[in-house]
């Protein structure tokens, strides 16, 4: 068995931690009470302050360069460095935090309890693109509107996406204000204006871009994985009634741009390496990817095996001390295209990607009930309400409801890791 997979930390609560053992070490931007934002790594229930580690003189070479690039409260410059410095920092931190480290006493002062800190977005996002590569979600939604032809002809050829709104990306815990907009009420021929009545969540992975490309220069499929810095959870909140009225002919607009919630930790590509797998073979009759999207290595190890979970906690459930209700248990293996294919296709026309750009995967539903990544699918467009243990029912989200996204990676011979939570509670429209 890999020795790194068995390694333990002198930070005792990290050993066997659900999300953040020594084998994970995700990066994020945090601020202790009354202090300025800076970069840290999650270790168990604590955050290691990398500025403090730097000040202690415990970093050198590429690891030192990596931490120096995190200054200023954003990871963009760090992402731009690429894989080398990122790996050097990871290896140095694993040594410093390992159970036989000679620096335990000095580093104790650099640890902050996570509950005493505020988390921020990891990077300044210049551009946000939301893909649609979860084929089961595309099929489930397509059946609601086109029962005889759920997938449009281009779906299996091209990674579909739309350009999202970067200005309303927010970290986990930010309240979700119910949006207002135009809708077309059932049986009416003229639209009305008011608060969204069919508010929904969408379970997605977020993909952080590391090194970018020059405008006009496409990223080859064989190189695309090197341009991914890490991953997070992403909730693409959706106003379904606003969406239904506005999406033709140009796609989502105000129904998606009011808020998108991210988990605050960047789980690096290196931490996820043990959980890579082969891309599922395409069913017989499906087209093979065009040559610019096909790479043998990517097909062999470009998929990710991440268990994804969605929980709902209502106001009544909180008041009565009831546990959150699981809505969804899904997996990232439902992605029809790999992340590398998404990166390559985005750049193939010469579009410039930049460090800190963010991709959403699209909703990651499974094929069976219990694995659907949105209420639109679970309730069949509002026709089949969800029954909750509190006695409540839901077709779409109500004020006071909180959605919690979680992710976990586990595999025999590897330490399990997680992403932390991505939370958002609905508050009433202004």
132 annotated ligand binder: yes
**DSSP 3-state assignment of 190?**
coil
**Residue 115: predicted pLDDT:** 95
The model's pLDDT over 203-222, given as tens digits with 9 standing for 90+, comes to 999 999 999 999 999 999 99
**Residue 6: predicted pLDDT:** 84
Closest CA to 60 of 86, 88, 99: 88
Give CA–CA dist 273/332, Å, rounded. Answer: 14
Place of tokens 């460095």: 81
Q: Under a CB-based contact definition with an 8 Å cutoff, are residues 400 and 314 in contact? A: yes
The model's pLDDT over 36-88, given as tens digits with 9 standing for 90+, comes to 999 999 999 999 999 999 999 999 999 999 999 999 999 999 999 999 999 99
Length of the chain: 430
What does pLDDT average to over the chain? Answer: 96
Among candidate residues 137, 227, 345, 346, the one labeled active-site is 137
Give CA–CA dist 89/50, Å, rounded. Answer: 10
Q: Where are the domains of the chain?
A: 3-120, 128-427
Q: Indicate if the pLDDT at residue 366 is higher than 90.
A: yes
Place of tokens 């609560």: 13
204 annotated ligand binder: yes
307 annotated ligand binder: no
137 belongs to the catalytic site: yes
The model's pLDDT over 276-289, given as tens digits with 9 standing for 90+, comes to 999 999 999 999 99
Q: How many CB atoms lie within 10 A of CB 121?
A: 22
Give CA–CA dist 265/133, Å, rounded. Answer: 23
pLDDT band at 149 (very low <50, low <70, confident <90, very high): confident
Closest CA to 164 of 198, 200, 193, 125: 125
236 annotated ligand binder: yes
Structure tokens at 244: 């239904």
CB contact burial 330-339 (16+ within 10 A = b; e otherwise): bbbbbbbbbb
Q: How many CB atoms lie within 10 A of CB 346?
A: 24
392 annotated ligand binder: no
Q: Under a CB-based contact definition with an 8 Å cutoff, are residues 30 and 118 in contact? A: yes
Q: According to the CATH classification, is domain 3-120 in 2.30.30.230? A: yes
Alpha helices in 103-158 (DSSP H): 104-108, 135-145
Q: Under a CB-based contact definition with an 8 Å cutoff, are residues 355 and 183 in contact? A: no
For CA atoms 269, 270, 273, 278, the dihedral sign is: positive
Cα→Cα distances 326→128, 373, 380, Å: 29, 11, 18
Closest CA to 138 of 308, 344, 366: 366
The model's pLDDT over 234-259, given as tens digits with 9 standing for 90+, comes to 999 999 999 999 998 988 999 999 99
Q: Indicate if the pLDDT at residue 199 is higher than 80.
A: yes
247 annotated ligand binder: yes
Q: What percent of the residues of the chain are helix, what percent strand, and what percent coil, each to the nearest 5?
A: 25, 30, 45
319 annotated ligand binder: no
Q: Omega before 249 cis (within 30°)? A: yes
Work out the average pLDDT over 96-106. 97
**Residue 4: predicted pLDDT:** 77
Fold classified for 128-427: Fumarylacetoacetate hydrolase; domain 2 (3.90.850)
Judge whether 3-120 and 128-427 match in fold.
Answer: no
328 annotated ligand binder: no
Work out the average pLDDT over 159-169. 97
Give CA–CA dist 59/48, Å, rounded. Answer: 14
Closest CA to 3 of 22, 20, 18, 16: 22
- How do strand 422-427 and strand 402-411 relate by DSSP bridges? antiparallel
The model's pLDDT over 420-429, given as tens digits with 9 standing for 90+, comes to 999 999 999 9
Work out the average pLDDT over 298-308. 98
Work out the average pLDDT over 384-403. 97
Q: Indicate if the pLDDT at residue 2 is higher than 70.
A: no
243 annotated ligand binder: yes
Q: Under a CB-based contact definition with an 8 Å cutoff, are residues 405 and 233 in contact? A: yes
**Residue 3: predicted pLDDT:** 57
φ, ψ dihedrals at 184, nearest 5°: -110, 100
Give CA–CA dist 74/344, Å, rounded. Answer: 25
Q: Indicate if the pLDDT at residue 1 is higher than 70.
A: no
């Amino acid at each position: 068995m890999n020795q790194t997979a068995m390694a333990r930390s002198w930070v005792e609560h990290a050993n066997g931690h659900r999300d953040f053992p020594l084998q994970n070490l995700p990066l994020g931007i945090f601020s202790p009470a009354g202090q300025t934002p800076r970069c840290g790594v999650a270790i168990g229930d604590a955050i290691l302050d990398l500025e403090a580690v730097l000040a202690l003189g415990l970093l050198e070479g590429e690891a030192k360069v990596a931490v120096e690039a995190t200054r200023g409260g954003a990871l963009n410059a760090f992402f731009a460095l690429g894989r080398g410095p990122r790996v050097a920092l990871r290896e140095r931190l694993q040594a410093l935090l390992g159970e036989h480290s000679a620096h335990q006493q000095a580093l104790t002062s650099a640890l902050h309890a996570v509950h005493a800190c505020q988390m921020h977005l990891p990077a300044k996002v210049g551009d946000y693109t939301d893909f649609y590569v979860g084929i089961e979600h595309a099929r489930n939604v397509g059946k609601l509107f086109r029962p005889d032809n759920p997938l449009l002809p281009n779906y299996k050829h091209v990674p579909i996406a739309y350009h999202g709104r970067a200005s309303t990306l927010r970290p986990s815990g930010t309240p979700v204000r119910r949006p207002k907009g135009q809708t077309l009420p059932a049986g009416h021929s003229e639209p009305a204006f008011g608060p969204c009545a069919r508010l929904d969540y969408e379970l997605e992975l977020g993909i952080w871009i590391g090194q970018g490309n020059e405008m006009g220069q496409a990223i080859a499929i064989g190189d695309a994985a090197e341009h991914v810095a890490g991953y997070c959870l992403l909730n693409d909140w959706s106003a379904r009634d606003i969406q239904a009225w506005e999406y033709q002919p140009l796609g989502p607009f105000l129904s998606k741009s009011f808020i998108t919630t991210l988990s605050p930790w960047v789980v690096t590509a290196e931490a996820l390496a043990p959980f890579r797998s082969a891309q599922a073979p395409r069913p017989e009759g499906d087209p093979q990817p065009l040559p610019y999207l096909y790479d043998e290595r990517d097909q062999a190890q470009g998929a990710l095996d991440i268990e994804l979970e969605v929980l709902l906690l209502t106001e009544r459930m909180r008041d009565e001390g009831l546990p959150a209700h699981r809505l969804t248990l899904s997996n990232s293996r439902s992605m029809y295209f790999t992340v590398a294919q998404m990166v390559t296709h985005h750049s193939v026309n010469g579009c410039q990607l930049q460090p800190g750009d963010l991709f959403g995967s699209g909703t990651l539903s499974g094929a069976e009930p219990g694995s659907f990544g949105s209420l639109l699918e679970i309730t069949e467009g509002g026709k089949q309400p969800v029954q909750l243990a509190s006695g409540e029912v839901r077709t779409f989200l109500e004020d006071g409801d909180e959605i919690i996204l979680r992710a976990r990676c586990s595999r025999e011979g590897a330490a399990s890791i997680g992403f932390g939570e991505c939370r958002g509670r609905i508050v009433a429209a202004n």
